[in-house]
Homo-oligomer: A and B are copies of this chain.
Amino acid sequence: MKPVEECIIGIVGLGLMGGAVALALRKCGAAGKGKLLACDTDSSALNAALAGGVIDEGFVSPEALLERADLVYLCLNPSTLLSFMKARMGSFKNGALITDIAGVKGAICAAMEETLREDLDFIPGHPMAGSEKGGYACSMYCDFRGKNYILTPLKRNKGEHIDYIKKLIRRMGFGKVTETSAAEHDRKIAFTSQLCHVIAAALIDCEADTNITSFGGGSFEDLTRIAMLNAPMWTELFIENSSALLSRIGQFEKSLGEIKALVESGQARVLEERLAAVRERRLLMNA
């Protein structure tokens, strides 16, 4: 791969995350001597990014982007990504390096392991940064600094390509970069991300009184901010990763039920010990 400054980088999908990736690439000087291209079916996002100087060229159809891009950042929902790769496999530039941002990795990794064109390389990734706000217009609220990034490399990935992407990720401002398998990613993300979104949604779902926030002291607001979710995308993520997610919901329900039983039976000492252990564990997670 040529130095990232000299690359033509193509971003496919200029929504919240695509926009945030474009902004971070622009700021860190990637494609500075090359070009930053983007395609999206929504021309208003492209026009805004062009007007803001975030991208150099915009396309409503991906062909002209794919045939020129040395590096392609696929910023699509999992199902759109899979159908995009199937339909456009022939259009990528010879030797292009591809990465993505999808929140569930199992199906994508399996498909790419089997069907990726011989000359291409695809490093599956998941930037752990988002926002309850959606769309290109909100991409500036999506702060990458210090955030986690997960890579789930394919067996066929070249080591130098993984290093190349990792270096770019750090340059974009991310903190810890973790490499793991797609299965491990999906199991852990089911907990840290999907279960949390299900819980936030259930908390809002179970109370119709929108004036209840007069009684809020910050906890409720913090726990339910992510309930302002992108419903189509999260539906897809939940169902795509349903087996891991259902197991995580079950795990949570068990703990919830046990704490409930301690409250119900008034076992103050046992409850206090359990809460103290929770506190200690959570403090360790900060370390």
Contacts and interface: CB of A to CB of B under 8 A. Distances in A.
Contacts of A84: none
A284 to B, nearest CB: 4
Contact of A210 (B217, B268, B272, B284): B284
Given A215-B150, A264-B246, A198 B256 contact: yes
Contacts of A253: 253, 256-257
A256 B200 CA distance: 9
A219 interface: yes
A191 interface: yes
A41 interface: no
B129 A228 contact: no
A178 B246 CA distance: 40
A89 interface: no
Contact of A217 (B193, B225, B232): B193
Contact of A222 (B207, B215, B226, B229): B226
A81 interface: no
A271 B239 contact: yes
A111 interface: no
A235 B271 CA distance: 6
A206 B282 CA distance: 12
A180 to B, nearest CB: 8
Contacts of A116: none
A266 interface: yes
A201 B235 contact: no
Contact of A228 (B224, B274, B282): B282
Contact of A242 (B207, B231, B263, B272): B263
A44 interface: no
A223 B204 contact: no
A214 interface: yes
B198 A219 contact: no
A215 B129 contact: no
Contact of A208 (B220, B256, B281): B281
Interface of A: 128-130, 147-148, 150, 176, 178, 185, 188-189, 191-193, 195-208, 210, 212-220, 222-229, 231-232, 234-236, 238-239, 242, 245-246, 249, 251-260, 263-264, 266, 268, 271-279, 281-287
Given A201-B275, A206-B255, A239-B263, 7 more contacts: A148-B216, A192-B216, A201-B255, A201-B278, A203-B255, A210-B284, A222-B225
